[in-house]
Amino acid sequence: MKKNTLSLFLSLVLAGTVQAETVFVTLEKDNALAVVDPVEGKLIKTVPVGRRPRGIAISPDNKFLYIATSDDNTIKIFDAETLKEVGKLPSGDDPETFAINPAGDRLYVSNEDDSMVTAIDIAKKKAIKQIKVGVEPEGITVSPDNRWLISATETTNMVHWIDTKTNAIVEYTLVDPRPRSVSFTVDSQQLWVTSEMAGTLMILDAKTKQIIKTVRFEVSGVTADKIQPVGVVIDKDRIRAYVALGPANRVAVINAQTFEVEKYLLVGQRVWNLAFSPDQKRLYTTNGVSNDISIIDLDNQTVTKSVGVGNYPWGVAVKP
Amino acid sequence: MTNQPGAHLHLTEGRRAGPSCVNNMLHYWRAMWGIIGRELWRFVTQRERFISALVRPLVWLFVFAAGFRAALGLAITPPYETYILYEVYITPGLCGMIQLFNGMQSSLSMVYDREMGSMRILMVCPLPRWFLLLSKLFAGTAVSVLQVYVFLAIAWFYGIKVPWQGYLWVLPALMLSGLMLGALGLLLSSFIKQLENFAGVMNFVIFPMFFMSTALYPLWKLKESSMLLYNLAKYDPFSQAIELIRFSLYGQFNQHAFIYTLVAFIVFMTFAIIGYNPSKGMMMKKGGS
C-alpha cells in the first residue's frame, strides 16, 4: 500500500515534469541552438549547430529538428532528443526560412539571392524542383490541407500561390510592401500576411486570393516607423492571433474573428518570430536585440518572464 | 491655548490608572488608541487632506510617468522578470512618496501642536515619552498605509496590476517603511521651532531624499550618468524602503532593504526620542515647547 502511494506520488511528480515542453531557439551570432525549459523559465544549455543558424522547424512527428545554417549553405537535420546532427539537406545558397508540409516528407526553402523556392524530398535528401518566384523570397508556408505552398517575395511585394501537386505557381496576390511572414488558419481558409514596411497585417481569402482585411497597428508612445510586423501565428480555434511588431517591442493580440487589435504586450527588443506551446497556453517570442525570449501566458494575456538565451535569437521551435 | 480632546483623555486616564499590571497595560492600550484614533479621525474628516494626499502620486503616475513613458520598456532588474513600462516601475516609488509626505505631514502637525500648546498636554501625560511618540508614529503609519492602498486600487484600474498575493505581502513592508519615514518626520519636528521653517525641510530633506532615490529611476540608470548620484541613491534610506515595497509587491523578500530600513527606523526613532526629551534634546536648547 505504502509502495503504491509512493509510486502514485512519483508518477504525479513525474507527470508534472514530463508535461513541460522544450523550446529551441537558434542564435544567429553564436552559431548555436539554445535549449530552454519554459516552465522553469531557464536556459538549460546551448549547443553548437553550424554557422549563422536562422530558420528552425520541428518535424510533425517531433523527432527531428531542421535548422537553416545560412553560412554553411545547408539545412541540417538534428535528432530532437539527443541534438546530434543526423543529416543535411541541399537547400541552395544562404537558406533562411523554410516550411515543412503536414505529412513531413517535403521541405520548401526560400532562396533569397536566387529568387527561387527549392522543393526537397526529405527522405531522399534531394532537391526535386526549383520554382522561380519574385525577388527576395522570404515568408514561406504550406497550408494545413497541403493544397497550397505560399511564398512571399519582399521586393516584388507579392504572395505566390504554388500548387503543391505540380509545384507550379497558380496565382499571385499583390500585397503591402515588404511582406515578411505568412501563416494559414488551421482550416486553410485564410492566409495572414505581415508587411514590414507598411506596418500592416493582411488577411487573404484562400478561395478568392484577395485581401479581405488590412489591420493597422498603433502603439501609444511608439513612432510608426518602429512598428514593423514580422512573425504571425493564429491559434487552432481561430479565436486570437498574435503578431510580432519588431522594434516596437510589442506582440499585438488580435481577435481572429473581428480582426480588432485587443492588446499590445511589451516584450524584449526587436521581437521577430513566434511559436505556441503544444497546448497553446503559452507563446514564445525571439527578441533579437535584447538577446532573450519572452514567455507569454495566453490565459492571462500577460508576459510572465524574459529569459536570456544568447546573441541574436532568431527562430523558435517547440517540442512537446 | 487649545485643549485637544485626545490629549485630555490621556491625562485623566493616567490619573485613574491603578497599580496593577493589567490596568497599566490597559492604560497604555487606551492611550495608544486615543492617539491613533485622533489621527485617523483627523485624516478622515479632513477630506482635502485625503484627496491631496492621493492627487500628488496620481499626478506623477498619470502625467509625469506618461510623459516619460519609456514606451519601449525598461531593462529587466529584480524583482521584475520581464520588460516593464515606466508606470509600472514608479508605482512602488509613488507608494514610498505617499509615506514620505505623510511622515512629513505628521511632523508638520507636531510642530503645529507645539505652537498651539496641545503638545505640552500630550508630553506631560504620565506615560513614557517614547511610548507617546511611538503611538504618534503608529497613528501616522496607519494613515499612510490606508493612503497607499487607495492609491494601489486606483493604479489597478489604470492597468498597473501586481500578483494578488503582492497586495498582502506589501502590508508589512509598508508598515516598516511608514514607521521609518514617520520616525524621520518626528526627528525633524524635534528640530523645527516654527511652522515657517518647514519650507527648509521640504528643500533640504524631502526633495533630495525623493529625487536621489530609486523611486523614479533604477540604480543602473543613475550609475550611467554619475557615480556620486548612484552612491547617494544607494545609501538613501528612502531608496531601501522603496526597494522593500517593490520586492514585496512581487512576493519577494529583499533582506538587505529590510535590514537597512529597520536600522534606519531604530536610529531615527532613538534620536527623535532624545530630541523630544526636555532635559537632553533640542527641546531644552529651544526652551521647550
| Exposed/middle/buried for residue B53 (C-beta within 10 Å: 0-12, 13-18, 19+) | buried
Is B85's CB within 8 Å of A303's CB?
A: no
Q: Express each pLDDT in A218-239 by its tens digit.
A: 998 888 999 999 999 999 999 9
User: What are the angstrom distances between the C-alpha of A187 and each of A145, A184, B257?
Assistant: 8, 8, 55
pLDDT tens, per residue, chain B with 289 residues: 333 444 444 433 444 444 566 777 788 888 888 888 877 787 777 778 778 888 889 988 888 887 776 666 777 888 999 999 888 999 999 999 999 988 888 777 777 777 777 777 776 777 777 888 888 888 889 989 999 999 999 999 998 999 999 999 999 999 999 999 999 988 888 877 776 777 777 778 888 889 889 988 888 878 888 888 888 888 999 999 999 999 999 999 999 999 999 999 999 999 988 887 766 555 545 544 4
Q: Note the pLDDT of residue B289.
A: 40
Could you give the ipTM of this predicted complex? 0.79
Is B81's CB within 8 Å of A268's CB?
A: no
User: What are the angstrom distances between the C-alpha of B272 and each of A72, B83, B165, B259, B276?
Assistant: 73, 41, 35, 20, 6
In A, which residues are within 8 Å of B81 by CB distance?
41, 304-306
Q: Note the pLDDT of residue B280.
A: 59
Which of A247, A248, A303 has its CB closest to that of B82? A303
Which of A222, A226, A268 has its CB closest to that of B83? A268
Whole-structure pTM value: 0.83
The DSSP result for B108-121, as a single string, is HHHHHHHHHTHHHH
User: Which of A9-13, A157-161, A272-276, B267-271 has the lowest average pLDDT?
Assistant: A9-13
Is residue B112 within 8 A of residue B188, CB to CB? The reply is no
Is A306's CB within 8 Å of B69's CB?
A: no
Question: Which of A262, A283, A291, A306 best probes binding to B when mutated, by most B CB atoms within 10 angstroms?
Answer: A306
Q: Which residues pair with A2 in a beta bridge?
A: none
How many domains is chain B built from?
1
Is A269's CB within 8 Å of B82's CB?
A: no
Q: Express each pLDDT in A22-74 by its tens digit.
A: 999 999 999 999 999 999 999 999 999 999 999 999 999 999 999 999 999 99
Q: What are phi and psi of A148, to 5 degrees?
A: -120, 140
Distance of CA B196 to the CA centre of its chain: 21
Q: Which helix (H) or strand (E) holds A159?
A: strand A158-163
Interatomic CA distance for residues A227 and B237, integer angstroms: 41
Q: Which residues pair with A110 in a beta bridge?
A: A117
The DSSP result for B152-193, as a single string, is HHHHHHTT----HHHHHHHHHHHHHHHHHHHHHHHHHHHH--
Is B82's CB within 8 Å of A294's CB?
A: yes
Q: Express each pLDDT in A253-299 by its tens digit.
A: 999 999 999 999 999 999 999 999 999 999 999 999 999 999 999 99
SS in 3 state form for B44-87? HHCHHHHHHHHHHHHHHHHHHHHHCCCCCCECCCCCCCCCECHH
Chain A positions contacting chain B at CB under 8 Å are 41, 219-222, 226, 247-249, 266-269, 290, 294-295, 303-306
Which of B71, B81, B84 has its CB closest to that of A222? B71
Is A268's CB within 8 Å of B85's CB?
A: no
User: What are the angstrom distances between the C-alpha of A233 and each of A170, A225, A306?
Assistant: 25, 22, 19
Interatomic CA distance for residues A272 and B104, integer angstroms: 49
Among B248, B111, B235, which Cα is nearest to B178's?
A: B248
* Residue in chain A nearest B81 by alpha carbon: A305
In A, which residues are within 8 Å of B82 by CB distance?
266-267, 294-295, 303-306
Cell 509587491 found at? B249
| Residues near A310 by beta carbon (within 8 Å), at least 6 away in sequence | A25, A27, A29, A30, A32, A34, A43, A46, A291
Question: Which of helix, strand or coil describes residue B257?
Answer: helix
Q: Which residues pair with A24 in a beta bridge?
A: A35, A317
Is A294's CB within 8 Å of B72's CB?
A: no
Interatomic CA distance for residues B134 and B32, integer angstroms: 9
Instruction: Name the residue range of residue B212's domain.
Output: 5-285
Question: Which of helix, strand or coil describes residue A42?
Answer: strand
Q: Express each pLDDT in A165-223 by its tens digit.
A: 999 999 999 999 999 999 999 999 999 999 999 999 999 999 999 999 999 999 988 88
Is residue A22 within 8 A of residue A39, CB to CB? The reply is no
For chain A, the first-to-last Cα distance in angstroms comes to 33
Q: What are phi and psi of A131, to 5 degrees?
A: -110, 125
Q: Which residues pair with A297 in a beta bridge?
A: A282, A302
Cis peptide leading into residue A278 (ω within 30°): no
Interatomic CA distance for residues A268 and B60, integer angstroms: 26
Distance from CA of B80 to the nearest CA of A (A): 8
* Residue in chain A nearest B161 by alpha carbon: A302
The DSSP result for A64-119, as a single string, is EEEEEEGGGTEEEEEETTT--EEEEE---SS---EEE-TTSSEEEEEETTTTEEEE
Interatomic CA distance for residues A103 and A106, integer angstroms: 8
Chain B positions contacting chain A at CB under 8 Å are 69, 71-73, 75-76, 81-85
Interatomic CA distance for residues B216 and A160, integer angstroms: 51
Question: Which of helix, strand or coil describes residue A213?
Answer: strand
Which of A41, A220, A267 has its CB closest to that of B83? A267
Distance from CA of A290 to the nearest CA of B (A): 9
- Report whether pLDDT(A9) > 90: no
Q: Which residues pair with A87 in a beta bridge?
A: A77
Is B81's CB within 8 Å of A267's CB?
A: no
For chain B, the first-to-last Cα distance in angstroms comes to 13
* Residue in chain B nearest A263 by alpha carbon: B159
Is A222's CB within 8 Å of B72's CB?
A: yes
Is B82's CB within 8 Å of A249's CB?
A: no
Distance of CA B205 to the CA centre of its chain: 13
* Residue in chain A nearest B74 by alpha carbon: A268
Interatomic CA distance for residues A141 and A98, integer angstroms: 7
Cell 508589512 found at? B172
Cell 548612484 found at? B230
- Report whether pLDDT(A5) > 80: no
Roughly what angle, to the nearest 10 degrees, separates helices B47-59 and B86-116?
150
SS in 3 state form for A167-203? CEEEEEEECCCCEEEEEECCCCCEEEEEECCCCEEEE
Which of B69, B75, B82 has its CB closest to that of A305? B82
* Residue in chain A nearest B67 by alpha carbon: A221
Is residue A20 within 8 A of residue A42, CB to CB? The reply is no
Is residue A91 within 8 A of residue A118, CB to CB? The reply is yes
Half-sphere exposure of B236 (CA within 13 A, CB side): 25
- Report whether pLDDT(A2) > 80: no
Which of A247, A248, A266 has its CB closest to that of B83? A266
Cell 500500500 found at? A1
